[in-house]
Structure 1
Amino acid sequence: MSLIRRSNVFDPFSLDLWDPFDGFPFGAGGSSIVPSFPRSSETAAFAGARVDWKETPEAHVFTADVPGLKKEEVKVEVEDGNVLQISGERSKEQEEKTDAWHRVERSSGKFLRRFRLPDNARAEQVRASMENGVLTVTVPKVEAKKPDVKSIQISG
């Protein structure tokens, strides 16, 4: 059995927003010398789409969990020829005046994930499919050029 090690190490290919002061008490109330970052449901929903990225010999494969979304609610785009962008919006559930909510844990709002594709990616041939709340984006790789080998006759 193989184990996959996941870490929160900085990924140079990920273009996600990151707040280095998240969780620290300063910055609130406007009296701090350290600027506070605006908070909204839109930025909070960025973490709502978890994405795995694996590289096979043939392609880069991105797998995103987007439960409860239809394929029409998710967008896959390539910007500037080398940035893969996965975005969408999870709508808030309709509230009725007679409803009494006891707990709200499912996130709603927009999500956006961006990844800088490596040089060996064929961004013009990206394919995407979605099944059972899982989006799979496949970016084929440029075939590795095999070196031309020429045999040299040895004289003597």
Structure 2
Amino acid sequence: MKEEVKVEVEDGGILQISGERSKEQEEKNDKWHRVERSSGKFVRRFRLPENAKVEQVKAAMENGVLTVTVPKEEVKKPEVKAIDISG
């Protein structure tokens, strides 16, 4: 099976994964020979969170598994200060 996959980040923080897969299966013996081919295109789109670092999105394919890594900006939490109320 052969797969071609493209990962893009579009304006507005949209992650698009598209590709095409094709499969060929062949069987033969002394009396006959059969080849079956199938193919198809696919597209998936996801809206990334606002704190995503879109310029640092990474994708890797290993053994037919696509892994997309989307780093996020750290959200700074407001500091909480203790107040002495013992008087």
Normalised to the residue count of structure 2, the TM-score between the two structures is: 0.70
Structure 2: 5+ residue runs without aligned partners? 25-31
Distance 2:16 2:52 in 1: 14
How far apart in 2 are the matches of 1:116 and 1:90? Answer: 24
Q: TM-score scaled by structure 1?
A: 0.42
Greater helix share, structure number: 1
Q: Which runs of 5+ in 1 are unaligned?
A: 1-66
CA contact (8 A) 2:2 2:22 kept: no
Distance 2:41 2:47 in 1: 20
RMSD: 3.1
Q: Which residue of 1 aligns with 2:27?
A: none
Question: CA offsets, 1:79-132, max 9 Å, x none?
Answer: 014100001112464xxxx8545xx5x751221110111223222211111100
- 1:144 equivalent to 2:67? Answer no
State the match for 2:66 in structure 1.
Answer: 135
Whole-angstrom distance in 1 between the partners of 2:34 and 2:86? 92
Q: Which structure has the larger Rg?
A: 2
Q: How many residues align?
A: 82
Identify which of structures 1 and 2 has the higher relative contact order when contacts are C-alpha pairs closer than 8 Å and 6+ apart.
Answer: 1
Equivalent pairs: percent with the same residue?
74
Q: Which has the higher strand share?
A: 2
